[in-house]
Amino acid sequence: MIELSPWKKLALVVLLLFIVHCSLFVVDLFRADAFFNTGEKMQRYGLYEVAAGYYQRAINHNSREPRYHRELAAVLARLGMTDRAAGEAEIAYDLNPKNSLTIRSLISTYVDLASIDSRYLARAEELIAEAVDQQPTNPQLYYEQALIFLKAEKDEEAARALQKSLELKPDYQKARELLESSQHNPN
C-alpha cells in the first residue's frame, strides 16, 4: 500500500470535491434543459400554466439562461400576469441585450402585454427601435415596427416604417397592403 503525505491527501480530497462539484453542475444544466424542453411542449399544446411551472423549474436550475426567462415571460403574458411577465422579460433582456432573437421574442411579449395594459406598448416600441438599429436592412422589422406604431395610433410613424420596408423590399406584399389600407382608412 502506498503511503501519501498529508498534503497529497488534502490535494486528493480537494480534487475529488472539485470533480463532484463539476458533476453536480453539469447535472443541474441537464435538468434545466429537460424542464425547459418539457415547458416548450406544454406551451405548444396551449397548457400555459403547466409550461410556466416547467420554465420556472428550469430557471431554478440555471437562472443565467435568457431563453428560459424569455419563454416564461411569454407564457406569463398569455396568462395575463403582466407584472411578473414584464419582470421575466427584463431579466432575459439584461442577460443578453444584444441578441436579436431575444429582442424579437420580447417585442412579441410586450405587444401581448400591451393588449392587457397599454403602458407596455412603449417598451415594445423601444425594443423594435433597437432591433431596427441592429438590423437596418431587414424589411420585416420595419413592418413589425409599423404594426406597433399602428397599435399606438402613431399613423405617420407607421407609414414611414412601411415605406422604409418597401424601399428595402419593393415586392413586400404585406407591407404594401398595410400601407394602402392605413392610407385609405385613417383613424
Verify that 45 and 67 share a domain, yes or no. Answer: yes
Identify whether 71 is part of a domain: yes
Provide the total of helices (H) and of strands (E) in the chain, helices listed first: 9, 0
Locate 165 and state its grid cell: 420596408
Q: Reduced to 3 states, what is the DSSP secondary structure of residue 96?
A: coil
Buried b (16+ CB within 10 A) or exposed e, 106-118: bbbbbbbbbeeee
Locate 4 and state its grid cell: 501519501
Locate 124 and state its grid cell: 415594445
The string of pLDDT tens digits covering residues 30-88 is: 999 999 999 999 999 999 999 999 999 999 999 999 999 999 999 999 999 999 999 99
CATH code at position 30: 1.25.40.10
Identify whether 40 is part of a domain: yes
Verify that 46 and 103 share a domain, yes or no. Answer: yes
Domain residues for 185? 135-187
Identify whether 29 is part of a domain: yes
Spatial contact of 112 and 77, defined as CB atoms under 8 Å apart: yes
> Binning pLDDT at 50, 70 and 90, where does residue 186 land?
low
Residue with cell 403574458: 77
